[in-house]
Structure 1
């Protein structure tokens, strides 16, 4: 992650396959290519591989939050209606998105709000 970028964490309710699908979807978006990392649970004894837990997406200025929001909105729109996505920052601030009637503009505003509040933390006004 380069200077000036923030990392948002994405988690999906439901199966691990849904998170893998989202990872593949985001990796094919030109504006997010090379900015998506997958995180897996540590291996338990007897396991062959860890479960996929979350995706980390490095976003910066220049409307990348809107790019991410549009990608998420499109992907969610093609999923089952009872799914939820949680977008969070390192300090635990979150936005939850329900697949039922997701509003791309509202999601973009929520993501930008997460990114902007992260930038201003610790900076006295």
Structure 2
């Protein structure tokens, strides 16, 4: 079963950050076909939807492990620092900043294991 994880960014240039994160994750060979940019619906005063999330289809072929390894490196590289919120398909969230990047791989894997376990 494939589940989709959503990743949002708070701080700095959020749209630019989402594009940079999308490109970073697609640069990982194991993630390339599983990463997409998502848009929220356009508001009454907007011409089109605004980028607001990166989605990653996880659940097979080690995609979760590659995401858990790659995302902390990207978070540490951001200037100015950003906060990343990961939302699992079951609605659980995890917020990470550069200061937590050292534990991020374990925290992300714990979050994604809860999805696999049906928690």
TM-score class normalised by the smaller sequence: 0.7 to 0.9
Equivalent residues in 2 for 1:4-83, closer than 5 Å = 4-14=1-11, 15-83=14-82
* Consecutive unaligned residues in structure 1, runs of 5 or more: none
Helix, strand or coil at the partner of 1:17:
helix
- Could you list the per-position Cα deviations for residues 46-93 of structure 1 after superposition, in whole angstroms to 9, with x for gaps in the alignment? 533321111110112453222112211221121125311011112221
Aligned residues: 117
Q: 1:12–1:84: 8 Å Cα contact kept in structure 2? A: yes
Say which structure is richer in helix.
2
Helix, strand or coil at the partner of 1:92:
coil
Residue 90 (1) aligns with residue 89 (2): yes
Q: Say what the alpha-carbon RMSD is for the aligned residues.
A: 1.9
TM-score, normalised with respect to structure 2: 0.85
* Consecutive unaligned residues in structure 2, runs of 5 or more: none
4+ aligned runs moved over 4 Å, structure 1: none
Residue 109 (1) aligns with residue 106 (2): yes
Cα deviation for residue 112 of structure 1 reads 1.8
